[in-house]
Structure 1
């Protein structure tokens, strides 16, 4: 797949294929603000809020205190590592 999405698939199986493609736009181990996630997703489809929610709901990304990261890419997310900004 390349470029932009024409639509977000309704069927979960197809949507997961798209979401796995989309999550590749995010670097493992990097924290993203919600605004950054929105900008990345907006390049793919105008409904970036739904895409962001689906990525979190399907556990391809995680969210905490307004920050997002690829699932499995930030160790010890259950604690406040020193690299977390003081929000």
Structure 2
């Protein structure tokens, strides 16, 4: 049984609207979430094909939404839950683009990587975005990032 009260609230709201049992309503919501994740992954793969050649970023995109999409792909080079030294982060990023310092800074600025005492780690949860930030982030981040962080 789930302990997430927000998710339970959504399931119960669907139950009230449709008359479904808890199990049926939960399955429908989970199926919708899985479908949204698959669509997000498809959109990400389309962008990656355009921006990356042989695993390397051809150029850092100027548009913020496209740059954020590229950063999400770069993030897949890191393992959630693992600590990285700055040198290890630089080595990973150098394999993606020669301006590894810029990429590292942007990953931290977009809150995909967390930095503390010279140690880096993939954020444990998707960052909360202010309305202004949402304008600069691909809409599919909401679906893709939590799935990535959960190990999908």
Q: Report the TM-score when normalising by structure 2.
A: 0.47
- Structure 2: any 5+ residue segments left out of the alignment? 1-47, 49-53, 126-152
Q: Which of 69, 73, 94 is the aligned partner of 1:21?
A: 73
Which portions of structure 1, spanning 4 or more consecutive aligned residues, are displaced by more than 3 angstroms? none
CA RMSD of aligned residues (A): 1.1
Distance across 2 between alignment mates of 1:69 and 1:27: 8
Q: Counterpart in 2 of 1:60?
A: 112
- Determine which structure has the larger helix proportion and give its number: 2
- Structure of higher CA gyration radius: 2
Matched, 1:37 2:89: yes
Between the two structures, name the one with larger relative contact order (CA 8 Å, sep ≥ 6): 1
- Structure 1: any 5+ residue segments left out of the alignment? 74-87
Q: Report the TM-score when normalising by structure 1.
A: 0.80
